[in-house]
Amino acid sequence: MRRVLGFFGGLWRKPKLFIGLVLLLLVVLFGALHTPIVHWIGHGTDPMSIGFGGRWEQPSSTHLLGTDAVGRDVLALLVTGLWTSLKIGLLAGVLSTVIGVIVAFYAAYRGGWLDNVLATVTDLFLVIPSFPLLIAFSGFAKKVSLFEVGVILAVFSWAGAARVIRSQVLSLRTRPYIDLARVTKSRDFEIITTELLPNMLPYIALGLALAAIGSIFGLVGLELIGLGPSGLVDLGLLINTAVTGGALSLGAWPIFVAPIGLITILFFALNLINVGLDEAYNPRLRKVAGA
């Protein structure tokens, strides 16, 4: 508990981490409020139904971001899509971090042949081009739930997190306090959960941020080329319908600039958190960077 309080107390002195967390909070808040926002735009009707407004309307007071090719309100689509993207990022991000943590801890802490095998498997997943596999997956997953998409994305993105965490465990497990715990005959599980894990939290958070970025863009990328699983409306689908619908030549910019801007802010926030965590907890960087 003291560690948590100290973390938030020290935030003011870590501007990158602070700005990143605030931006992330704002984006998540915007997505979380999708029901009231959609309700407010629709005034009782569904703003995402065909023919809610005119076709390709420019931004106005009734349609803050205009309408799309079939008259749906862009702002309503945007918040709904954002919420889906955020849920995917959280779900796949957490899943792949959990897989990564288990693989990395077990392998790096035990060492020996198991470490070699697991490290090779991790490297294998890093070189297999995942995007073609994701495209292929979309071929036999026409109607899937959010959860299933999250699992598939996690399968392809855990390796990055595992590698970041493994290299940290490797350096931590030779520290004196781990030796002390071993001498007092603590069980491996106990050492991992009470000694290693708390010290690894910043790196796990770092891996989570990276995995979330990767998973959100994995789905967005599939939707961009029109091969995403049907039934999920995320920010990528919004951009795809805009581009294929001819928004570029019609000059209807809000419909693709808004989701791109939103994803950019989201990735910027996650990336700032990343850099901030690295600077705050990597002593080698702190020494010279003075952060």
Shortest reach from residue 75's CB to other proteins, in Å: 19
Give 290's contacts (C-beta < 8 A, 6+ positions apart). none
Hey, which residues between 12 and 71 contact other proteins (CB under 8 A)? 16
The least CB distance from residue 6 to other proteins, in Å, is 25
**Where in 124-153 is the site for other proteins (CB under 8 A)?**
124, 126-129, 131-133, 135-136, 139-140
Give the span between the Cα atoms of 96 and 203, in whole angstroms.
14
197 binds other proteins (CB under 8 A): no
Between the two ends of the chain, the Cα-to-Cα distance in Å is 24
Q: Does 263 bind other proteins (CB under 8 A)?
A: yes
Nearest approach, Cβ of residue 199 and other proteins (Å): 16
Cα 169 to Cα 190: distance, rounded to the nearest angstrom: 15
Judged by DSSP in three states, 143 sits in: strand
Q: How far is the CB of 82 from other proteins (least distance, A)?
A: 15
Which residue do the tokens 């490797």 mark? 170
170: which residues sit within 8 A by CB, 6+ positions away? 108
> By the 8 A CB rule, do 203 and 165 touch?
yes
Query: Among residues 57, 55, 58, which one has the least CA distance to residue 71?
Result: 55
Q: If binding is defined by CB under 8 A, does position 167 make contact with other proteins?
A: yes
The residues that touch other proteins, with contacts defined as CB under 8 A, are: 16, 108, 111-112, 115-116, 119-120, 122-124, 126-129, 131-133, 135-136, 139-140, 163, 167, 170-171, 174, 213, 217, 220-221, 224-225, 227, 239, 243, 248-249, 251, 253, 256-257, 260, 263-264, 267-268, 270-272, 275, 284-285, 287-289
